[in-house]
Amino acid sequence: MNALPYLDAAEIERLVPVTLAVQLLEEALRGGLDPEDTPQRPSVDLPGGQLLMMPAAAGRYAGLKAVTIAPGNPARGLPRIQGTYLLFDGDTLTPVALLDGIAITSLRTPAVSALAVKHLAGPDARRLVVFGTGPQAWGHILAMRAIRPLDHVTLVARDPGRAQALAGRTHSLGLPATSLTAGTSEVEAAVAEADIVACCTTAREPLFPGKAVRDGATVVAVGSHEPDVRELDSDLIARATVVVEARTAALAEAGDVIIPLRQGTITSGHLAGNLADLVAGRVPPVRGPRVFKSTGMAWEDLVVAAAAYEAWT
């Protein structure tokens, strides 16, 4: 058997820029892809962390992403999240390519957020606040800049040095940026002034008081996929128009939604729709703040992996 072609991070980034990824994800949903049909991902607890397996099939391809999450790795100088993607021909199920799984995740997550923000945020949204300093934080800066006329970014992190470094990197795009240390009074003020807030952290508790988010602002939360972990508080969820990737996934994995449900702060009917509903215009008129909660889904990986493979061939 011949060795499978391998597409690394640089190749994936070259073949599928974030604007194209947003377009392809939207086309897939408009073409009838139903996020609710995506199989639930098995999660296996291991001594060193977790193993997630994410299968999907759509159109001409099927695929499987295997991802490991090792909380102790940063102290070893290793990535917290690692993984690979195996792409199959949809008819014969013959493996056709291997791809860098983390590069796929780093691209599709901000692209999905950008697709949601494209339909939720006002066209003149200019002020972005980003919580976190990792690859997803940077990816969300690039993705939001691609769809909205940003003129300022505020970076919030527990480590002031990392926030300052990301602010400098953002400046290199010609985009003014400032950095704040998490937990300070300035953070709540920045959130209150923001048009878009992107939460890209490993936090297990809410990052800011939800009351700070003004009506009309859009918040995306991508950092958690566990039912007991959240980045957003119940106050924000209760008064926001909430869109999720898929109801089935959110009600199984999204602590940002599940915890308010357990508390009785909201009911499952509070969810305004999934991403397909949003793209199709089936989400009711937006009131209050807008929230998009993402846990990451296998169909998104497949759309991006298939596009990279077809561009490569």
- Please provide the average confidence, as pLDDT, over all residues in the chain: 95
Q: Which CATH class is domain 109-296?
A: alpha beta
SS3 55: strand
Answer yes or no: are the C-beta atoms of 258 and 237 closer than 8 Å: no
Q: Of 232, 223, 224, 234, nearest to 267 (Cα)?
A: 234
SS3 197: strand
Measured distance CA(105)–CA(109) in Å, rounded:
6
Answer yes or no: are the C-beta atoms of 40 and 250 closer than 8 Å: no
Average pLDDT over every residue of 159-177 = 95
Measured distance CA(90)–CA(103) in Å, rounded:
22
Measured distance CA(103)–CA(64) in Å, rounded:
14
pLDDT tens for 221-257 read 999 888 999 999 999 999 999 999 999 999 999 999 9
Residues of CATH 3.30.1780.10 domain(s) within the chain? 6-104+300-312
Q: ∠ CA 200-311-56 to the nearest 5 degrees?
A: 55
pLDDT at residue number 301:
97
Architecture of the domain delimited by 6-104+300-312: 2-Layer Sandwich (3.30)
Answer yes or no: are the C-beta atoms of 178 and 170 closer than 8 Å: no
**Residue 311 CB neighbours (<10 A):** 14
Q: Of 109, 60, 67, 68, nearest to 87 (Cα)?
A: 60
pLDDT band at 3 (very low <50, low <70, confident <90, very high): confident
SS3 43: strand
**Residue 204 CB neighbours (<10 A):** 13
Q: Whole-model pTM?
A: 0.95
SS3 240: coil
Sheet holding 290-293, edge to edge: 177-181, 152-157, 127-131, 196-199, 218-221, 290-293, 241-244, 271-274
pLDDT of 41 strictly over 60: yes
Measured distance CA(17)–CA(55) in Å, rounded:
23
Residues of CATH 3.40.50.720 domain(s) within the chain? 109-296
Q: And the tokens for 1?
A: 């058997």
pLDDT at residue number 1:
53
pLDDT band at 167 (very low <50, low <70, confident <90, very high): very high
pLDDT of 68 strictly over 70: yes
228, with CB counted inside 10 A (0-12, 13-18, 19+), is exposed
pLDDT of 194 strictly over 80: yes
Measured distance CA(278)–CA(276) in Å, rounded:
5
Measured distance CA(173)–CA(154) in Å, rounded:
14
